A and B are shown apart, each in its own frame.
Chain A
Amino acid sequence: MSATAATRSTAMGKGAFSSLAYRKNRDRAIELILLACALVAVFTTLAIVLILVVESSYFFEHVTIREFLTDRMWTPLFDDAHYGIMPLVSGTLTVTFVALLVAIPLGTIIAIYLSEFATHRMRESVKPVLELLGAVPTVVYGYFALLMVTPFLQKFMPDLSGFNMLSAGLVIGLMIVPYVASVSEDAMRAVPRYMREGSYAMGATRLQTALRVVVPGALSGIAAAYILGISRAIGETMVVAIAAGMQPTLTFNPTEPAATITAYIVQVSLGDLPHDSIGYQSIFAAGLVLMLMTLVFNVIGFFLTRKFREAY
């Protein structure tokens, strides 16, 4: 026995002469390390929820939920403090709506074009370039909105104020076009070829096939693209903080300046608030509302994408 072990060790070298048991134990240890890394994702989610809930609970000791939801003013930093989230939510929804007016039509048309009309070569070369639109730093988009889009719009709308939700929304729309386009295109390409061929055989043109066969077939995926786009627009921060002004105003008029939830958080963070002040706690309450809004859309989007992946 010892003789065979000796020949084995000389034949295989010292490095390879680790026993199977040792290698198996090492494997188990490594698996645990890998698992720990994967769990970082779970802990991050838990930590986000925990931090937001705990810090906002201090906020809600001072402010009743009723006041938070029904007061029409948001001025936590003023002497005459009001804590109504409505103005921030109205700003967020208005900007999101403007952004969708841009992103949904453009994104859908680009997706139909790339999926149904473009050649393979064209698609492969255009897609990465289109994705660059989503890679531009948001602070640069903010510059674009404030110093290029707003002055341009003012040529046609002389009354437009220097800070307004319109240009912020338009630019955010441009920013999420590639996102809407690429998720919708994935969904359209998942529609099986034979459905298109059936349509062509009936004498339909490409456009008819695209609009009446492919788009309905990919509907859940396209809806997911829109919904994930909404969640992106709601969470976008720098463009609105720069171009839409930071005055919380209860308005749905996009030509007016207003603050979104995200812009408010930025505004407070720029100042130097003491750790335990109500102003500091108010950004966590605002963050909790933001998180809940995006979470709803993300969850719907998640299940819709899963549905279209399973459909065919």
Chain B
Amino acid sequence: MSAVMTIEELRNGLAWRKNLDKAFVVAGLLILMSCLGLLALLFVDLVRDGAARFGWDFLTQFPSRKAERAGILSAWVGTSMIMLVTAVVALPVGVAAAIYLEEYAPKNWFTGVIEINVTNLAGVPSIVYGLLALGLFVYKFGFGQSVLSAGLTLALLILPIIIVGTREALRAVPKAIREAAYGLGATRWEVTKDHVLPYSTGGILTGLILGLSRAIGETAPIITIGALSFIAFLPDPPISGAFPFVNFAWLKSEFTAMPIQIFNWISRPDQAFQQNAAAAAAILLAMTLAMNAVAIWIRYRFRKKINW
């Protein structure tokens, strides 16, 4: 081969390089599609394996030694109560922390420390939160192996998600809006409460839903706290017909949750229980995917609706 390429060689080389380009596009698409395909396959398989168990009874029965009579009543009630605690704690704290970091915090080392902490907490393995809760909530604070401990643990776990989501939303509000409000004599809190927050509702909501969708599937931390897998009673309902209409006994109640129930059923060698696991897993997966879909939709709607 001579040092100078002939036009023929150049053409062949170019054709080869262009083919490589096309091959990469095909490979990329294929890999992308097979990853998504696996997700679909997983869902279809769960539905197929658990098909025999779907029905009203599955939702309204307590767990049982007999697989065909076992249901997820105590699991989904437990999960709903935990999610209630998680949302009630994580939303205000997360939003307030985000407002502080975005609207108030001066740029100094102290703010830097808080920021590094938020980033770091997002990367802490979830089971470590479980150990924290076991040592702190269950034993030090004496909350026991209760709905309250579980809810608080998951609230800490999703705090970084809510903080990051809220901060993004706050940052998207243009400066001009803040300056207009300051120009009329509003204080910083008035600007934030009356102008910045209302525009950020979409982003905050997205963050909350994504956080809860993460929390609803978390298994490891609540196993560490000591969730029970066999619970054949329901905690007292939080709302009652008689005065004072609300009670908080349920917070102290022992509990089980959807992922715990699934884990327990998977661990049994009996195939009938694995069918139960598949059915419950399909329901849990559907809930998670639905929450994510809602979050994506809200984000999309808000982006489209607001034209600054």
Q: Which of B23-31, B51-59, B234-242, B248-256 binds A?
A: B23-31
Q: Is the interface of B mostly helix, strand, loop or mixed?
A: helix
Within A130-152, the residues touching B (CB, 8 Å) are: 130-133, 135-140, 142-144, 146-148
Residues of A within 8 A of B267 (CB): 242
B16 to chain A, nearest CB (A): 10
Within B55-86, the residues touching A (CB, 8 Å) are: none
- Given the known A-B contacts A37-B97, A41-B117, are A27 and B135 also in contact in the complex, defined by CB atoms under 8 Å? no
A197 at the binding interface (Cβ < 8 Å): no
Produce 1/0 per residue, A109-132, CB < 8 A to B: 110111001100000001011111
Residues of A within 8 A of B139 (CB): 275
B219 at the binding interface (Cβ < 8 Å): yes
Q: Is the CB of A290 within 8 A of B187?
A: no
- Given the known A-B contacts A55-B135, A113-B25, A265-B131, are A44 and B121 also in contact in the complex, defined by CB atoms under 8 Å? yes
A-B contacts, 13 of them at CB < 8 A, read A48-B124, A48-B131, A110-B28, A113-B31, A114-B32, A133-B36, A137-B281, A137-B285, A137-B288, A147-B274, A232-B123, A236-B125, A266-B223
Residues of A within 8 A of B7 (CB): none
A101 at the binding interface (Cβ < 8 Å): no
A14 at the binding interface (Cβ < 8 Å): no
Q: Is the interface of A mostly helix, strand, loop or mixed?
A: helix
Q: Is the CB of B159 within 8 A of A40?
A: yes
- Which of B17, B92, B132, B292 is A132 in contact with, Cβ under 8 Å? B292
User: How many chain-B residues does the 8 Å CB contact rule pick out?
Assistant: 85
Q: Is the CB of A135 within 8 A of B213?
A: yes
B88 at the binding interface (Cβ < 8 Å): no
Q: Which residue of B lies closest to A177 (CB)?
A: B35
- Given the known A-B contacts A41-B160, A143-B277, A270-B223, are A137 and B259 also in contact in the complex, defined by CB atoms under 8 Å? yes
Bound state CA distance, A85 and B123, in angstroms? 23
Q: Is the CB of A136 within 8 A of B39?
A: yes
B85 to chain A, nearest CB (A): 16
B143 at the binding interface (Cβ < 8 Å): no
Bound state CA distance, A126 and B216, in angstroms? 24
B224 at the binding interface (Cβ < 8 Å): yes
Produce 1/0 per residue, B91-125, CB < 8 A to A: 01110110111001100000001101111110111
- Measured CB to CB, the residues of A under 8 A from B are 23-24, 26-27, 30-31, 33-35, 37-42, 44-45, 47-48, 51-52, 54-55, 106, 109-110, 112-114, 117-118, 126, 128-133, 135-140, 142-144, 146-148, 174, 177, 205-208, 228, 231-232, 234-238, 241-242, 262, 265-266, 269-270, 272, 275, 283-284, 287, 290-291, 294-295, 298-299, 301-302
B47 at the binding interface (Cβ < 8 Å): no
B188 at the binding interface (Cβ < 8 Å): yes
Residues of A within 8 A of B121 (CB): 41, 44-45
